């Protein structure tokens, strides 16, 4: 909604207005591109009057009679380039929108350039949009894509980090979260764990929200902002969780569709990039090997199959793709049949007029064709994506890893030794083996003895693993108090339903032989449990000492005693150091 408003020169788009939109150019930087691309397709942009969308730092020709909407970060180089555009008189008018708030000094730079270029009248509007976050789903956002290393787990937990670097990271995170709440139009109540990076974020965010509320004349949370009536009257809860409360889940192999796509394929900002394998045909000797085709697919909110199955276990997805394909084939025959009834097999079209009783059938065929073709496109897309995922599952035995890790995390008996898994040359990549061992190491109540550890290390090294992660986790485990009480993951394991061959009919595209048909049992992960305690106001040693911030309270009373005793209706969970699709799915299942 905020983006559409911006593209409409910062006035809410009028519904049912007839006539053409105002044609305009959109100029963005990489940050702006990342924010817009998961939300608006090229077609939607065109419907809003955007004829051209260009990167700020590309070579752009002057289009003197068109207004330009800029959507960029207020960085030094971006500002310089905008001033250059003003001097070169590239466009008719300029609507400058900054993703994050611009400083006074930079604003003055633009003003000076505009005066120098005699272009003051052309600068129509300057807006701080407070949109410095990327929305990937109706209920999920990430901070950034371009510089995500800056706010990653590794950046925050580096042993040699300086205080100033830490400040910068925290400010970056807080800036994005602040933007998120401005766009939401709500002031949250903040809870966080003590003595963690999450606490630093909470303190800074509370301060920033407080300062904004205090300046009543310029507050972003009053008046006719976007969010004025968007939400219920209750304020949302913001739970800031530190990644260190649970390091096993992000290492865990996955079994649901979306999480698998993210884990094994190249999946960023809702787009998956696949290399098409060009079949097995042999290349004649001496010929150059064929170049692999790259294909990319967008997995969006409008893709009904994706929305329905992104949280399903993979075997179910394979089966559903197959069913969709069969139902499509039935309809495809129907279209052919209609054509033949009507004799449009290349005969005289005049014959059609005689068959008036078929017109009803014909109209239905014509109206259902575009729908069928779209259905076909989605089936092809998911056939390709699911096949690519399946290749990884089979070549790396990911079903075995997933099941084994679930057993480790739920402390059930293991059917084969961990050493055998690590030493099996056919099971998984070195990274898969390392992930498995780290989960074992993190989840075990007693660390393995030095003798055992050396044996594991040798096996890992023989398998080609890099031992640096293990050394980190070793220190981490010694250092965290959590070591005394290992995180519990519930005590349920996935139930295999027998192998696939029986589930899938023989005509299936997916050769699932030997892949286990595992079904998930619902259990709350640590992040979900923390949310549940705080939302429902349950008393629990895990969360009882979480700090409580209410930016609306006049003086910052630091207490962990919540003022409000009612359960919350809405919550935002943010993991400092990075969440993942397993936790996202777990939260969705928890809500259901």
Q: pLDDT at residue 515 above 60?
A: yes
Beta strand 140-142 with 189-192 is unpaired
In a domain, 261, yes or no: no
Say how far apart CA 320 and CA 295 lie, in whole Å.
23
| pTM assigned to the model | 0.86
- Residue 506 pairs with which residues in a beta bridge? none
Residue 200's pLDDT is 96
Angle at 38 between CA 34 and CA 42, to 5 degrees: 95
In a domain, 111, yes or no: yes
Spatial contact of 175 and 73, defined as CB atoms under 8 Å apart:
no
Residue 254's pLDDT is 93
Q: pLDDT at residue 59 above 80?
A: yes
User: Do 154 and 120 belong to one domain?
Assistant: no
- What is the tally of structural domains in the chain? 3
In the structure encoding, which two tokens stand for residue 271, read together?
A: 């787009």
Spatial contact of 508 and 323, defined as CB atoms under 8 Å apart:
no
pLDDT tens string 355-365: 555 666 666 66
**What is the pLDDT averaged over residues 510-525?**
76
Residue 385's pLDDT is 95
How sure is the predictor about 507, in pLDDT bands with cuts at 50, 70 and 90? very low
User: Do 461 and 413 belong to one domain?
Assistant: yes
User: Do 446 and 531 belong to one domain?
Assistant: no
How sure is the predictor about 86, in pLDDT bands with cuts at 50, 70 and 90? very high
Q: pLDDT at residue 585 above 50?
A: yes
Lowest-pLDDT range of 222-236, 360-374, 398-412 = 222-236
Residue 228's pLDDT is 44
Q: pLDDT at residue 14 above 70?
A: yes
CATH of the domain at 111: 3.40.50.2060
User: Do 87 and 124 belong to one domain?
Assistant: yes
In a domain, 329, yes or no: no
User: Do 8 and 122 belong to one domain?
Assistant: yes
Say how far apart CA 362 and CA 375 lie, in whole Å.
20
Residue 516's pLDDT is 80
Beta strand 91-98 with 123-128 is parallel
Say how far apart CA 312 and CA 384 lie, in whole Å.
17
User: Do 123 and 202 belong to one domain?
Assistant: no
In a domain, 499, yes or no: no
Structural domain that includes position 231:
134-246+525-591
Q: What are phi and psi of 519, to 5 degrees?
A: -115, 140
- 499 three-state secondary structure: strand
Q: pLDDT at residue 412 above 90?
A: no
Lowest-pLDDT range of 147-156, 365-374, 491-500, 509-518 = 491-500
Of the ranges 212-226, 306-320, 370-384, 440-454, which is most confident? 306-320
In the structure encoding, which two tokens stand for residue 591, read together?
A: 């809500």
User: Do 151 and 229 belong to one domain?
Assistant: yes
Q: pLDDT at residue 178 above 90?
A: yes
User: Do 549 and 457 belong to one domain?
Assistant: no
- Sheet with 91-98, edge to edge strand ranges: 50-55, 24-28, 63-72, 91-98, 123-128
Spatial contact of 134 and 142, defined as CB atoms under 8 Å apart:
yes
CA-closest candidate to residue 88, choices 111, 65, 119: 119
pLDDT tens string 337-352: 666 665 555 444 445 4
- Our CA dihedral for 295, 27, 136, 10, rounded to 10 degrees, sits at -150
CA-closest candidate to residue 404, choices 395, 414, 394: 414
**What is the pLDDT averaged over residues 166-175?**
96
- 583 three-state secondary structure: helix
Residue 333's pLDDT is 76
Q: pLDDT at residue 169 above 90?
A: yes
Residue 410's pLDDT is 85
Phi-psi region of 537 (alpha: psi -120 to 50; beta: other; left: phi over 0): left
- Exposure string over 80-111, b if 16+ CB within 10 A, otherwise e: ebbbebbeeebbebbbbbbbbbbeeeebebbe
Q: pLDDT at residue 129 above 80?
A: yes
- Specify the higher pLDDT residue, 555 or 387: 387
Q: pLDDT at residue 30 above 90?
A: yes
In Å, how far from its chain's centre is CA 363?
Answer: 41
Residue 504's pLDDT is 42
In a domain, 16, yes or no: yes
Percentage of residues of the chain with pLDDT beyond 70: 81
Give the chain's mean pLDDT.
85
pLDDT tens string 548-570: 999 988 665 555 565 667 889 89
């Amino acid at each position: 909604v905020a983006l559409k408003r911006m593209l409409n020169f910062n006035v809410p788009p009028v519904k049912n207005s007839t006539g053409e939109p105002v044609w305009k150019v959109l100029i963005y930087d990489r940050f702006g591109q990342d924010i817009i691309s998961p939300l608006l397709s090229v077609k939607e942009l065109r419907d809003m009057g955007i004829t051209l969308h260009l990167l700020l730092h590309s070579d752009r020709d002057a289009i003197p009679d068109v207004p330009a909407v800029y959507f960029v970060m207020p960085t030094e180089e971006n500002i310089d380039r905008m001033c250059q555009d003003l001097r070169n008189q590239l466009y008719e008018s300029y609507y400058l929108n900054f993703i994050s708030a611009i400083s006074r000094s930079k604003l003055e730079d633009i003003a000076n350039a505009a005066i120098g270029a005699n272009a003051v009248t052309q600068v129509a509007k300057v807006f701080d949009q407070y949109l410095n976050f990327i929305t990937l789903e109706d209920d999920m956002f990430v901070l950034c894509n371009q510089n995500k290393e800056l706010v990653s787990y590794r950046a925050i937990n580096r042993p040699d980090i300086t205080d100033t670097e830490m400040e910068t990271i925290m400010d970056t995170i807080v800036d994005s979260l602040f933007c998120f709440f401005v766009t939401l139009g709500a002031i949250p109540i903040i809870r966080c764990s003590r003595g963690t990076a999450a606490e630093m974020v909470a303190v800074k965010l509370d301060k920033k929200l407080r300062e904004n509320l205090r300046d009543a004349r310029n507050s972003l949370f009053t008046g006719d902002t976007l969010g004025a009536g968007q939400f219920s009257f209750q304020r949302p809860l913001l739970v800031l969780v530190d990644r260190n409360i649970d390091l096993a889940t992000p290492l865990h192999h996955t079994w649901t569709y979306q999480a698998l796509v993210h884990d094994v394929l190249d999946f960023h900002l809702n787009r998956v990039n696949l290399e098409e394998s060009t079949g097995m045909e042999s290349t004649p000797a001496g010929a150059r090997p064929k170049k692999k085709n790259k294909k990319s697919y967008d997995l969006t909110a409008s893709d009904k199959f994706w929305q329905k199955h992104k949280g399903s276990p993979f075997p179910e997805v394979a089966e559903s793709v197959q069913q969709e394909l069969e139902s499509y084939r039935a309809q495809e025959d129907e279209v052919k049949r209609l054509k033949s009834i009507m004799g449009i097999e290349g005969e005289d079209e005049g014959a059609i007029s005689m068959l008036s009783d078929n017109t009803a059938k014909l109209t239905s065929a014509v109206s259902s064709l575009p729908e069928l073709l779209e259905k076909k496109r989605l089936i092809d897309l998911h056939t390709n994506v699911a096949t690519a995922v399946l290749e990884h599952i089979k070549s790396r035995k990911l079903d075995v890893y997933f099941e084994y890790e679930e057993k480790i995390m739920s402390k059930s008996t293991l059917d084969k030794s961990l050493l055998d898994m690590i030493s099996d040359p056919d099971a998984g990549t070195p990274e898969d083996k390392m992930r498995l061992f780290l989960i074992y190491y993190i989840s075990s109540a007693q660390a393995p003895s030095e003798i055992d550890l050396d044996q594991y290390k040798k096996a890992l090294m023989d398998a080609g693993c890099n031992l640096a992660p293990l050394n980190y986790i070793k220190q981490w485990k010694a250092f965290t108090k959590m070591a005394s009480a290992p995180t519990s993951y519930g005590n349920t394991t996935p139930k295999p339903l027998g192998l696939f061959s029986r589930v899938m009919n023989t005509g299936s595209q997916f050769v699932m032989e030997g892949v286990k048909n595992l079904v998930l049992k619902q259990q709350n992960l640590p992040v979900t449990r923390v949310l549940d305690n705080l939302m429902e106001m349950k008393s629990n040693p895990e969360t009882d000492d979480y700090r409580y911030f209410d930016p609306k309270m006049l003086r910052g009373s630091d207490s962990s005693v919540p003022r409000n005793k009612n359960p919350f209706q809405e919550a935002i969970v943010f993991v400092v150091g990075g969440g993942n699709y397993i936790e996202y799915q777990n939260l969705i299942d928890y809500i259901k």
